[in-house]
Amino acid sequence: MKASHTEFPLNPHVAGLPPYNAGMNIAAARLHSGREDIAALASNENPDGCSPAVAAALASLNPARYCDPACTALRAALGEKLGVATDRIVVGNGSEEMIAAVCRAVLRPGAVVATICPGFGLHEIEALANGAVVVKVPMRRDLEFDIAAIIGELEKTPAIFFLSSPSNPVGVALGRESLDRIIAAVRPETLLVLDEAYFEFADDNLPDGLAVLSASSLSFVVLRTFSKAYGLAGLRVGYAVTSDARLAGAMTAAKTPFNVNAAAQIAAVAALRDEAWMRSSVLTLKAERTRVAAAIAAMGLPAVRSQTNFLFIDIRRDSQMAMQHFLSQGIIVKAWKESGFENFIRVTIGTPSDNDRFLDAIGALTTQ
């Protein structure tokens, strides 16, 4: 590298960002393990695939035409499903793009963003990229949300509070009373971003964050995605529902114009028209979640509660080494890296046979 290149001034907020801890892809896992049959359990994808209506609808795709920058048909379908005016909905290239857009729309350098630890990497990374200072509220030792600590942080009026519920990576979700206490503590200067990427996997008696927040007077964003329950992770489509059209307008201005490609728009509309497929897949996955969690408890590992399509497991040994053990058997899991959680792995609920492979491998590991 020539010296002049190393001296070229980059944006320090972006150049110094911590990496996003993405799961290993299947091709790399094949190379590492020498096995063809990879159980990909690191990225919370849907092992059932997606509704067959999606492939049928994609026959109408015209790759030569620019996509609709306003996602008109998809926003109309979402508005109808959710009972929300379409001018409060912004669609993204995955909901992760909406995390970036809300940061860009709201934050000025030096702003404070609060979130939870352990948490979803992009809640921190996108805030840092916009020059914010990130404060993290730890979960309690029993891996429940620390509502008192969250309220304490909200009282300091951060510009944004990011919270995933159900939580990635922990899997627990806020009950109605906890959500109400949090809402009561949000001041007008703070934007509450409730990331509900796993909404569809949560028990029916848990609150619908969008409904509860819509009844409040807060400025808020609720994030949801087609990547998890609907099985469209590869197409990249998720959305933000905001408290008001002004905020949605700022987020729209903050994204690139043709951010959601034509295939993703067609697929998401088709997936919404076949919610029965999604509901049935979620039921199957929840039954598997119960089975896998029970098998893990039976091994003497700490019990895991989950309102998502994954389990966050204290394996009581270094998770990086454990990840290699799983990988050697063609199983991809995510080793958690946040300080204090280096003994945890996050494993997605897959097909029954992939789950069995995982259970065999974790059984062999933890009885060593």
Ligand X SMILES: *Cc1c(COP(=O)(O)O)cnc(C)c1O
The site string for ligand X over 273-312 (x = CB under 6 A, - otherwise) reads ----------------------------------------
Q: Does 233 bind ligand X (CB under 6 A)?
A: yes
Nearer to ligand X, 207 or 238 (CB): 238
What's the rounded Cα separation, in Å, for the pair 237 and 193? 18
The site string for ligand X over 127-156 (x = CB under 6 A, - otherwise) reads ------------------------------
CB of 337 to ligand X, least distance (A): 16
Torsion of CA 282, 288, 290, 296, to 10 degrees: -140
CA distances from 342 to 62, 174, 308, 346 (A): 46, 24, 21, 11
CB of 267 to ligand X, least distance (A): 13
Please pick, from the candidates 39, 75, 77, 96, the single residue that binds ligand X as defined by CB under 6 A: 96
Say how far residue 132 (Cα) sits from the centre of its chain. Answer: 21
Q: Which amino acid is at 244?
A: D
CB of 200 to ligand X, least distance (A): 12
Q: Does 124 bind ligand X (CB under 6 A)?
A: no
Please pick, from the candidates 47, 118, 121, 238, the single residue that binds ligand X as defined by CB under 6 A: 238
The token pair that represents 153 in the structure block: 């942080």
Give Cβ neighbours of residue 71 (< 8 Å, ≥ 6 apart): 91, 260, 265
CA distances from 15 to 111, 113, 221 (A): 19, 19, 27
What's the rounded Cα separation, in Å, for the pair 343 and 301? 12
Residue linked to tokens 């948490």: 119
CB of 184 to ligand X, least distance (A): 24
Q: Does 344 bind ligand X (CB under 6 A)?
A: no
The token pair that represents 211 in the structure block: 């409904």
Please pick, from the candidates 51, 86, 165, 227, the single residue that binds ligand X as defined by CB under 6 A: 227
Please pick, from the candidates 33, 86, 168, 307, the single residue that binds ligand X as defined by CB under 6 A: 168
Please pick, from the candidates 164, 252, 281, 306, the single residue that binds ligand X as defined by CB under 6 A: 164
Q: Does 268 bind ligand X (CB under 6 A)?
A: no
DSSP 147: H
Please pick, from the candidates 33, 46, 51, 95, the single residue that binds ligand X as defined by CB under 6 A: 95
The site string for ligand X over 5-44 (x = CB under 6 A, - otherwise) reads ---------------------------------------x
Instruction: Mark 324-356 as b/e (b = at least 16 C-beta within 10 Å).
Output: ebbbebbbbbbbbebeebeebbbbbbbeeebbe
List residues near ligand X by CB under 6 A. 44, 94-96, 120, 164, 168, 195, 197, 225, 227, 233, 238
